[in-house]
Every structure is written in C-alpha cells, then in structure tokens.
Amino acid sequence: MPTPLNDVLAALGVPANRTAIAIGNNWIPGTGETLHVRSPVDGSMLASFPLATANDLKPILDAATNAFHDWRMVPAPVRGEFVRRIGIKLRERKTELAQVVSWEAGKILAESLGEVQEMIDICDFAVGLSRQLHGLTIASERPGHRLMEQWHPLGPAGVITAFNFPVAVWAWNAMLGLVCGDPIVWKPSPKTPLCALATHAIVVDVLREFPEIPQGVVSFIIGDREVGEAIAGANELPLISATGSVAMGRAVGQKVAARLGRSLLELGGNNAMIVAPTADLELAVRSITFAAVGTCGQRCTSLRRLIVHESIADNLIARLKGVYSKLPIGNPLEKGVLVGPLIDEAAFESMQEALESARQAGGQVTGGGRIPGEGFYVHPAIVEIDAAAPIIREETFAPILYVMRYRELSEAIAMQNNVPQGLSSSILTNDLREAEMFLSPAGSDCGIANVNIGTSGAEIGGAFGGEKETGGGRESGSDSWKAYMRRVTNTINYSKELPLAQGIKFDI
C-alpha cells in the first residue's frame, strides 16, 4: 500500500486490521474470501482482507433493529445534533478523506474534495431538516374533528452504493435517514472499501461523543452481490436505497418488491445535451468537456450524447477535438491533471467494446486508446455517429461522447428521450422558447433537466434521481426525506358525538 494512504487511514482512525464489517465502534472481520484492493491510480495493492458473506449479516440487522427502538424516540433535532457533529468532523478531515477517494476511486483530487464537500453540504441540509420534519393539518368534514398527518421514523435502512461516488451517496442517504430516525446499514462497493472504512471511522469518532446513542445506528458490511441480495431480502430493512447499474437495480427492485418493502433506486443514466443554434459556444465547450470527461466519464450524470444543431456542428466538433487533444490526463493526485484513470481493466474492456460497436455502426471515432503504463488511463473519445446506432442506447461507464446532428428542436428532444434511461439532460440555448419547451411536459423526460449548464454536478438542495430505467428514486434535497419515514394520518374527535365520514348512518 502506498505509505501516504496508510498514514492517512491511520490518522482517520481506521484500525490497522482492515475489517469488512463494523457496528458502530465494533470492527468485525468478515468470514468470506480475501478481497485484494488495487489502486486505479498505479495498480498498487491498497489492502487485502476477508470480505463479509451473507452469513455475517444477522448481527448487523439485530443491532440496527435494537438501535431503532431507542433512536426513533430521540427528538429529531437531537438526532440532528449528531449529524451536525459529523459535518464538523468532515470539515476537519476533508483533505484526508478526499485523498482516500482519489487513491481508491481514481478521481482527481479537486473532484474528491468536491465529493466530501457534498457530504458536508448534506449534513448541513439534514441538520436544518431535523427541525422541519413536518406534516399537514387537513380540514375534517366532521364537526369537532381534526385531521392531521405525522411523519415517523420508518426503520433501519439498507444503503447499497456504487464505486464512483464512494462516500457522497452514502451521506445523501445516511444523513437524511439518521435525522429521520432510521439506523443505516451500509453495503459499499467492494471496489472502494477503504472509502467506507475511512468514512465510518469519522462517524465513529463522533459517536464517541454521544455515549447514549446505540452503536447499531451506523454499520457497514462489505461484500459482493450475495451480500447485497441478502440485504435486499431482509425484512428488518423496510427501506432499501440502492445506487448502481440498471442490472443491479432490476435484481434489487424485484427482491424488495417480493417482500413488499420500499426501494429507492438510483441507477444508470445515458445523459444528453442539446446544443441549439443560439448557444454560447464558449460556454458549450467548457460545459461539455467537464460533463463528458470529468471523473473519466464515470459519473451517473456524465454526458454521453451530444445532439448538436447542424448549423453549428462542424464548428463545435472542431473546437471540442482541439480541447480533447490537450487534456491533461494522468495521476489524479497531481496538480493540474483533469482526467484520471478508469476504475479497472473491465471498465477499459467495455469501453473498447463500445467503440468497436460504434465503428461497426459507421461511427467516426477520435481518441479512445489506452495510455501505456500502470493503471487504465485512456484518451476520452468523441464519436460522430448516426442516431440509429444501437450502442448509443447503452450506458458505457467510460469517457465516450457520441455526437449527433439535428435540424428541428422537436427532433432533438425526441432523440434525447429515445433511450431506456432517464437521469440527466440539458439544453444550451439563448432562445427562451426553446428552453421552456425543453422543460415542458413535452420536453426532456429525465429527472434532471438543465438549461445552459451541463448534465453533471448537481447540487444537494434539489431532489436527485431519474425516470425509466434509472429507477424513479429521488434522494438528497427537496422533499426526498419522505422516503425515509412513514406517514401516519390521524383523525382526532374532540366532540361528544360520533359522526361518520361520508354521512353514513350506523345507529345501534
């Protein structure tokens, strides 16, 4: 393991013996096969330790269930105080945690710092929310009656996360879930286990300040798909929030539905941007480049399809190729680098397969090759292609930008919507009517629709998620907190009569 990362993990309080399980401050070894974690940065071995299996899950579920009995009765603003302290600790540990993210997920340091900042932001949001978990008072049709609704904690929540946002997605769920009164059982990606250990160590540091909080309020279990499936099937977890591929979401969604549980699915995207004739091309080049090559194309919101008006296409494509030819690609921890590595060899292979499929469909590919050396560093690709090519309907988790041309806005919107996924979208235009049409019911069918910015880089204040195969879930801001609570409708009779609703007479 690179010494700097060892030191960083020690400074964060991660025990020297890496474990696949922790329940609060109780770090427990898994009983499964040994996991070898290699850094995408340089291929170095970051850690080796036994994974957990589905058999290791029961003590975690028991601890979370027991913790729930106490945690649900802690006043929400007091739960918010715990989250506030986590936010403060994250501020103190921001650089260290970001370094772990860069070493393990391969993000450039600026983006890793941004990811930790997102955790801090959601802490702040959740603290405010802890004093605003409000229901409605509703007019009753009956005299002497009051009708109202309350929101109560739902129960322990299972949170399954992907490798590409190895700490922020947990925080989006955990910070809201915790203030809502739900213990959190986290199943991180086995590709980024150290990010989970580091995050958990920060939380445990805060937990020490609150001896009255049961340890089972926060736990994690690192395992492969088998552990994820066991979590999805666990009746002890009324909510499963799962972030990852569509294939994973399909499996998890069905498993949770079979037990009539609640699932919140945040799955793959296939995000498009329409660039209209009036677009500011300077702004276009910058926003396209960040959205398409940032995180080496490994964001759920990465820009994958560019739909450009034919009158400006040649100019825009030439400018993009110019910028792409000078992109600083390399070690994500080095200053000035903008594009780090792909996560692993499998990601590189699937990128090459997608490019081959594009070529077979007549696509003109620029870039896409591997840069020799350790790690899977690639030149981001621009592919001019026909909108009918089958490959553009798939999400390939790599920096490939498919470029298509359009004549009429209605045609561009149809192209943008003609994929199975529905996460993020944007239009660049200075024509108000075009922008409003794009945002209208006949416009983008995605959960996120932007004007004059790219598809990636959402703020935590809005609800985040997408439609169609993206799964329909919403997390983070706005009223996403409602997914973590149960709504109870109360009717209170303060009269001496017993009038029935709908005027029904039932005299005995």
- Residue 427's nearest CA partner among 411, 439, 418 is 439
In three-state form (DSSP H/G/I as H, E/B as E, the rest C), the secondary structure along 394-443 is CCCCCCEEEEEEECCHHHHHHHHHCCCEECEEEEECCCHHHHHHHHCCCC
- Residue 63's nearest CA partner among 294, 234, 219 is 219
- Residue 149's nearest CA partner among 481, 486, 480, 474 is 486
**Closer residue to ligand NAD (CB): 102 or 421:** 421
266 forms part of the interface with ligand NAD (CB under 6 A): yes
403 forms part of the interface with ligand NAD (CB under 6 A): no
248 forms part of the interface with ligand NAD (CB under 6 A): yes
In three-state form (DSSP H/G/I as H, E/B as E, the rest C), the secondary structure along 29-70 is CCCCCEEEEECCCCCCEEEEEECCCHHHCHHHHHHHHHHHHH
Q: Give the x/- contact pattern for ligand NAD in 183-212, rule: CB under 6 A.
A: ----x-xx----------------------
Q: Which stretch binds ligand NAD (CB under 6 A): 63-71, 118-126, 225-233, 363-371?
A: 225-233
Answer for which of 470, 477, 483, 485 binds ligand NAD (CB under 6 A) is 470
303 CA to centre of own chain: 16
Q: Which stretch binds ligand NAD (CB under 6 A): 23-31, 110-118, 162-170, 364-372?
A: 162-170
Answer for which of 39, 53, 99, 164 binds ligand NAD (CB under 6 A) is 164
3-state secondary structure of 362: coil
3-state secondary structure of 252: helix
Answer for which of 358, 423, 428, 483 binds ligand NAD (CB under 6 A) is 423
Q: Give the x/- contact pattern for ligand NAD in 278-317, rule: CB under 6 A.
A: ----------------------x-----------------
Q: Are 421 and 465 in contact (CB under 8 A)?
A: no
3-state secondary structure of 476: strand
165 forms part of the interface with ligand NAD (CB under 6 A): yes
**Closer residue to ligand NAD (CB): 32 or 153:** 32
Touching ligand NAD, residues 104-143 (CB under 6 A):
none
Answer for which of 160, 201, 272, 312 binds ligand NAD (CB under 6 A) is 160
394 forms part of the interface with ligand NAD (CB under 6 A): no
Distance between CA 107 and CA 101 in Å, rounded?
7
228 forms part of the interface with ligand NAD (CB under 6 A): yes
**Closer residue to ligand NAD (CB): 384 or 395:** 395
Distance between CA 182 and CA 184 in Å, rounded?
6
Q: What is the phi/psi pair of residue 445, to 5°? A: -100, 20
List residues near ligand NAD by CB under 6 A: 160-165, 169, 187, 189-190, 224-225, 228-229, 232, 243-245, 248, 251-252, 266-269, 300, 395, 397, 423, 470
